[in-house]
Amino acid sequence: MTTPGEQMHALVERLYPLCRSITGDGVRATLDIVGEYVPLQVHEVPTGTQVLDWTVPQEWNIRDAYIADTAGNRVVDFAASSLHVLGYSVPVSATMPLAELRAHLHTLPDHPSWVPYRTSYYKPEWGFCLAQETLDALPDGEYEVRIDSTLADGHLTYAEHVVPGQVPDEVIVSCHVCHPSLANDNLAGIAVATFLAQALAQETPYYTYRFLFAPGTIGAITWLARNAERVNGVSPALGAPPGRRLGEEPRAGGRVKHGLVLACAGDPGQLTYKQSRRGDAEIDRVMRHVLAASERPHRVNEFTPYGYDERQFCSPGFDLGVGSLTRTPYAGYPEYHTSADNPDFVSPEAMADTLAVCREAFAVLDRNRRYVNLSPYGEPQLGRRGLYDALGGRSDTKQAQMAMLWVLNLSDGEHSLLDVAERSELPFDTVAAAAGALHGAGLIKA
């Protein structure tokens, strides 16, 4: 029987050959496959739709592309790798000398056997990406150049999967689906998000979890434009919202309380959490606590307005508590945006570890409550309520007793269980178990 890590890796391998971009049939084919694992609601947004300060672009599709020598041999072939074509290339059919063709060729001289990933989304252009060693081997002469693509009015496609919770307040989990054959950036994130959704569906989570599979940047912007009032109670049509200090609670009326962007989830590097713009949002504190308590090698980075779609969710008008979880961050490994980011570069073990951290973090998030002590004058007698006896035989009896005392003392309606765990330096699970026992005994209420 295969492990979840092996199943995620198999999904990466299955998705790897598809040519994805910010629009087009490659995105649809990707979502069709993900939809075999979790049910998806797929949205199609027409070209020309105004989304915040952006406009949904024309849809790009490609059927074939190649560079052929005078003997008809394809020296560069899109059929061999979707990276070989500059993303969003306009159609071309021509014959030209190598000297003229070179202006449209992209290589990586420092890694002569790798093919780079390049795009030209918003400027009409065409081009090919190839290994430097392939280019060096091409003799001067005439070459047939063909890109069989279309750039026409169509749609931007994204999808959602919702795991219902006990409350309508939402946690957003986002991953981008716009990169072609790149295993770590973005397929590992898609795989982890998919299996995380499956795992949460087997539980009864407190929050409602909304998974967003969308093209990077324009996809998140489109989703935010279409969900602005539900996200945090603010409509961009009303103009800029009033300012608020970093760290303040989200504006009233919004359903999205927390969020996590997943990317680069399968490489051998240590886990890296990038904090939200607010820095002390609950998801930031939870991730810091979980990573530290797990004793995994990890980094916690400050927010910057560059990276993945956390920068859209954390733009000042929305200012959501959304962080980003990767292993090695974007551009932090040589294989980034090259053909070396292939299924061999990601491992089942790394993806399983990323998935485990997500599940641990959401388990803390789901149980993090504030309580009120119903017997706040002096310490209540725990023995006659059977609470000490209930701890008998536990290997962590002393910790559990201390956790009860800490929960009682900090249950003033202002402190959460995460506050208790941080201040007492006790494991969150122990604190949550103590709160459950005290609640059952009628000593605290949520």
Backbone conformation region of residue 423, classed left if phi is above 0, alpha if psi is from -120 to 50, else beta: alpha
Q: Taking Cα atoms as reference points, which of 84, 92, 23 lies closest to residue 58?
A: 23
Contacts of residue 22, Cβ cutoff 8 Å, sequence gap at least 6: 57, 60, 88, 121, 156, 178, 215, 216, 217, 218, 219
- At 426 the three-state DSSP class reads coil
- At 27 the three-state DSSP class reads helix
Is 389 flagged in the annotation as binding? no
295 burial via Cβ count (<10 Å: 0-12, 13-18, 19+): exposed
Q: How many residues does the chain have?
A: 446
Contacts of residue 395, Cβ cutoff 8 Å, sequence gap at least 6: none
For residues 269 and 265, what is the distance between their CA atoms, to the nearest angstrom?
9
The angle at the Cα of 363, spanning 283 to 354, to the nearest 5 degrees, equals 75
Residue type, 276: S
For residues 14 and 3, what is the distance between their CA atoms, to the nearest angstrom?
17
Is 176 flagged in the annotation as binding? no
Q: Hey, how many other C-beta atoms are within 10 angstroms of the C-beta on 438?
A: 25
For residues 106 and 126, what is the distance between their CA atoms, to the nearest angstrom?
11
- At 434 the three-state DSSP class reads helix
Which tokens sit at 17? 């050959």
Whether 91 contacts 81, CB under 8 Å = no
Is 110 flagged in the annotation as binding? no
Annotated binding-site members? 179, 185, 337
Annotated binding-site members for Zn(2+)? 179, 185, 337
